[in-house]
């Protein structure tokens, strides 16, 4: 189990992509291209459906639904969003996630784009 409030080896910003799929007449699930954060081995942030519901986008605020997830020390990933259970694996700076949705099984792959130590917050000028 991941320790709370302790930086983990996979902390940082991750970028994933899953190709769009066609699952039959009137059933299209669009390309997923988004970034999310892992902080203290926990997935943080939220997602919302795009206006036409064909895909999702990363966002925060009242219009998003939180992602709840963890990254284990061995890189195993578990994320819950709405009714979806996402599982996957991080190896080094590469990530692979999979889930089953209304268009069947989906797979997203990606990479770490920044580690927690390289993410800076603006300070006073």
116 within 8 A of 101, measured Cβ to Cβ: no
Inside any domain, residue 121? no
- pLDDT tens across 49-94, in order? 777 666 777 777 677 788 899 999 999 999 999 899 999 999 999 9
3: Cα within 13 Å, side-chain hemisphere: 5
Please report whether residue 51 resides in a domain. Answer: yes
Q: Is residue 4 one of the residues assigned to a domain?
A: no
Q: Is residue 47 part of a domain?
A: yes
Quick check: 28 and 21 in contact, CB under 8 A?
Answer: yes
Contacts of 94 (CB under 8 A, 6+ apart): 109, 110, 111, 112
Q: For residues 104 and 69, what is the distance between their CA atoms, to the nearest angstrom?
A: 21
Q: Is the Cα torsion angle 60, 2, 100, 89 positive or negative in sign?
A: positive
Q: Please report whether residue 7 resides in a domain.
A: no
pLDDT in tens, 103-113: 889 999 999 99
Specify the pTM.
0.80
Is the model more confident about 24 or about 121? Answer: 24
Higher-pLDDT residue of 116, 12: 12
Domain count, the chain: 1
The domain of 53 spans 12-114
pLDDT tens figures, 32-56: 889 999 999 999 888 877 776 667 7
pLDDT at residue number 123: 42
Spatial distance between the Cα atoms of 93 and 76, rounded to a whole number of angstroms: 13
Element (H, E) at 14: strand 12-18
């Amino acid at each position: 189990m991941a320790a709370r409030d302790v930086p983990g080896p996979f902390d940082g910003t991750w970028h994933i992509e899953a190709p769009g799929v066609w699952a039959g007449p009137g059933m299209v699930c669009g390309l997923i291209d988004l970034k999310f954060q892992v902080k203290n081995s926990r997935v943080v942030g939220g997602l919302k459906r795009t206006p036409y519901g064909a895909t999702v986008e990363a966002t925060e605020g009242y219009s998003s639904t939180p992602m709840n997830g963890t990254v284990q020390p061995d890189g195993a990933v578990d994320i819950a969003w709405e009714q979806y259970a996402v599982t996957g694996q991080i190896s080094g700076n590469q990530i692979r996630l999979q889930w089953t949705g209304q268009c069947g099984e989906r797979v997203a792959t990606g990479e770490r784009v920044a580690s927690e130590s390289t993410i800076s917050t603006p300070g006073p000028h």
